[in-house]
Amino acid sequence: MNKYLEKVLAKVEAKNPNEPEYLQAVKEVLSSIEPVIDANPDFEKLAILERIVEPERIITFRVPWVDDNGQVQVNRGFRVQYSSLIGPYKGGLRFHPSVNQSIMKFLGFEQIFKNALSGLPIGGGKGGSDFDPKGKSDAEVMRFCQSFMTELYRHIGQDVDVPAGDIGVGGREIGFLFGQYKRIRNGYEGGVLTGKAVGYGGSLARTQATGYGLIYYMREMLKANGGQTFEGKTVTISGSGNVAIYACEKAQEYGAKVVAMSDSNGCIYDKNGIDLAAIKEIKEVKRGRVKDYLNYHADAKYMETADRNDAPIWTIKSDIALPCATQNELSLTSAKKLVANGVIAVGEGANMPSTEEAIEYLQENKVLFAPAKAANAGGVSTSAIEMSQNSMRYYYTFEEVDKRLDAIMTNIFKACDEASKQYGMEGNYVAGANIAAFQTISKAMLAQGVV
Ligand code: NDP
């Protein structure tokens, strides 16, 4: 490895020994931009990499709230304002018990690159809390969100930092957060949060954007590799949340047969093709479990997840696998099973869902691999379109937003493809995505001086 890269990696490891997810994300990026670093020896003196890996600011705060039994609960809130080089900090909020500084930093770091790839003026950030919305009443979720925003509001703004949803933060939570922000600020600052519901500033097609965008990116990747399409392909999609549901919808529209979806407890397999209306009702209306699908289709099969390193969904035969749930859900063991079953393409809808070893194995075995920071950039891109609509005080139609989303995803694929070719790594879209994004970020950094 290039000496400068080695030095930076060693420093990052020494400084952040207890942050495995963050180290994993940094390592993945640094190891794939080596040809650019080789070509720019002056980057070391300018400490370009040291400046990219260090967040501009990390905010942590106490979030006290009262549950339905009158018991006071305390959670920890985070906002990592990673990079404002190309626009206001932008990235979602995650509410999940696993949230800690390592996960916030890995997501924020990835976000800088993803947002650069989108070609839109948005910097990188991420936030959230170890609060678990599962099993909480609407009133509890509202009290939590209000308390969370009572601290967060002083750090954000439509020109400063614009949070959105992520795991555990959907339309309901964004609504509560927005209401509290508006109340504190005494002003209607529509662009301060994205993922708002349609009718008070939200953009049409934002709900669908990440899932649809993933399929648009996959469509381009398949097309560029032998003119393949989704038509008639068998697809497995992990998760059954926002990203998974709309990836399923678009894949089905393109003529694919989606046979399996999952949640953290297990997966359902329906050889006749997933009934998406049933999944939407279970997840979006009843907030139930994927297992409840058996109440709709008794002939489907449910498999419990006993070992997360060998999730049952990846043992099912498919042409295309789309991990759309969470980080490190697709292990080397799973990658081997996918390859043995003849998978031709894997597309990351979730953030960093595949382990480093899994990616290596898939690429070695000539599986087309679409990395998260490129393939799931449709969500944040549409959030940026929501921000511009808020600034204009105007709404685009669903078709207008969807058309822009499609064009953005097509361009992102093109950028990854061209960058991979430019450095002699044709077809390696992980390297292509990292290099294309890094070129944009480093250029902005050089232009703005030592800041
Ligand atoms: P949701 O909260 O809507 O859904 C997450 C889904 O993943 C749930 O079905 C959840 O099940 C499931 N899940 C969680 N852990 C596991 C696991 N170990 N195995 C299987 N399923 C699991 O989140 P989103 O759909 O919004 O986000 C999913 C991923 O996509 C995340 O990595 C997020 O960062 C990423 N992403 C999201 C964007 C967006 O616009 N929403 C944009 C870009 C990326 P359960 O109910 O059991 O927890």
CATH number at residue 66: 3.40.50.10860
Domain range for residue 82? 55-188
Q: What is the mean pLDDT of residues 311-329?
A: 98
Nearest to 207 by CA among 251, 242, 166: 242
User: Within this chain, do residues 157 and 248 fall inside the same structural domain, yes or no?
Assistant: no
Query: Which of 340, 375, 410 delimits the end of a domain?
Result: 375
- Is residue 419 in some structural domain? no
Residue 90: which pLDDT band, with cuts at 50, 70 and 90? Answer: very high
Distance 439 CA to ligand 1 centre (A): 30
Query: Which of 375, 391, 423 delimits the end of a domain?
Result: 375
Q: Which atom of ligand 1 is nearest to the CA of 195?
A: 40
User: Within this chain, do residues 181 and 218 fall inside the same structural domain, yes or no?
Assistant: no
User: Within this chain, do residues 170 and 277 fall inside the same structural domain, yes or no?
Assistant: no
167 in ligand 1 pocket by Cβ < 6 Å?
yes
- Is residue 87 in some structural domain? yes
Q: What is the pLDDT of residues 105-122, one digit of tens each?
A: 999 999 999 999 999 999
98 in ligand 1 pocket by Cβ < 6 Å?
no
166 in ligand 1 pocket by Cβ < 6 Å?
yes
Q: For position 41, what pLDDT does the model report?
A: 96
Q: For position 426, what pLDDT does the model report?
A: 95
Closest C-alpha residue for ligand 1 atom 10: 263
**DSSP, residue by residue, 263-306:** -SSEEEE-TT---HHHHHIIIIIS---GGGGGGT-TTSEEEE-S
Residue 5: which pLDDT band, with cuts at 50, 70 and 90? Answer: very high
Q: What is the pLDDT of residues 288-310, one digit of tens each?
A: 999 999 999 999 999 999 999 99
Tally: H helices and E strands in the chain: 16, 12
User: Within this chain, do residues 180 and 99 fall inside the same structural domain, yes or no?
Assistant: yes
Q: What are phi and psi of 81, to 5 degrees?
A: -95, 95
Q: For position 234, what pLDDT does the model report?
A: 98
Nearest to 168 by CA among 145, 139, 143: 145
Residue 415, CB-side half-sphere exposure with 13 Å CA sphere: 25
Report the alpha-carbon distance of residue 313 to residue 251 in Å, rounded.
Answer: 17
- Is residue 302 in some structural domain? yes
Q: What is the pLDDT of residues 408-435, one digit of tens each?
A: 999 999 999 999 999 999 999 999 999 9
Q: What is the mean pLDDT of residues 171-177?
A: 97
- Is residue 82 in some structural domain? yes
User: Within this chain, do residues 214 and 363 fall inside the same structural domain, yes or no?
Assistant: yes
User: Within this chain, do residues 370 and 224 fall inside the same structural domain, yes or no?
Assistant: yes
- Is residue 278 in some structural domain? yes
User: Within this chain, do residues 146 and 283 fall inside the same structural domain, yes or no?
Assistant: no
User: Within this chain, do residues 179 and 263 fall inside the same structural domain, yes or no?
Assistant: no
- Is residue 48 in some structural domain? no
Q: What is the mean pLDDT of residues 155-179?
A: 97
- Is residue 394 in some structural domain? no
Q: Which atom of ligand 1 is nearest to the CA of 376?
A: 43
Query: Which of 155, 188, 221 delimits the end of a domain?
Result: 188
Q: For position 294, what pLDDT does the model report?
A: 98
135 in Cβ contact with 128 (< 8 Å): no
User: Within this chain, do residues 363 and 216 fall inside the same structural domain, yes or no?
Assistant: yes
- Is residue 312 in some structural domain? yes
**pTM here?**
0.96
Q: What is the mean pLDDT of residues 21-47?
A: 96
User: Within this chain, do residues 214 and 310 fall inside the same structural domain, yes or no?
Assistant: yes
* Strand-strand pairing, 234-238 and 257-262: parallel
163 in ligand 1 pocket by Cβ < 6 Å?
no
Distance 243 CA to ligand 1 centre (A): 7
Report the alpha-carbon distance of residue 109 to residue 215 in Å, rounded.
Answer: 24
Residue 262: which pLDDT band, with cuts at 50, 70 and 90? Answer: very high
* Strand-strand pairing, 72-83 and 124-129: antiparallel
User: Within this chain, do residues 297 and 366 fall inside the same structural domain, yes or no?
Assistant: yes
Residue 445: which pLDDT band, with cuts at 50, 70 and 90? Answer: very high
Q: What is the mean pLDDT of residues 333-341?
A: 98
Q: For position 75, what pLDDT does the model report?
A: 98
Count of structural domains, the chain: 2
How much is the mean pLDDT over the chain? 97
Sheet strands side by side (includes 89-95): 57-66, 72-83, 124-129, 89-95, 161-164
User: Within this chain, do residues 227 and 173 fall inside the same structural domain, yes or no?
Assistant: no
CATH value at residue 260: 3.40.50.720
Report the alpha-carbon distance of residue 261 to residue 238 in Å, rounded.
Answer: 5
Q: What is the mean pLDDT of residues 253-265?
A: 98
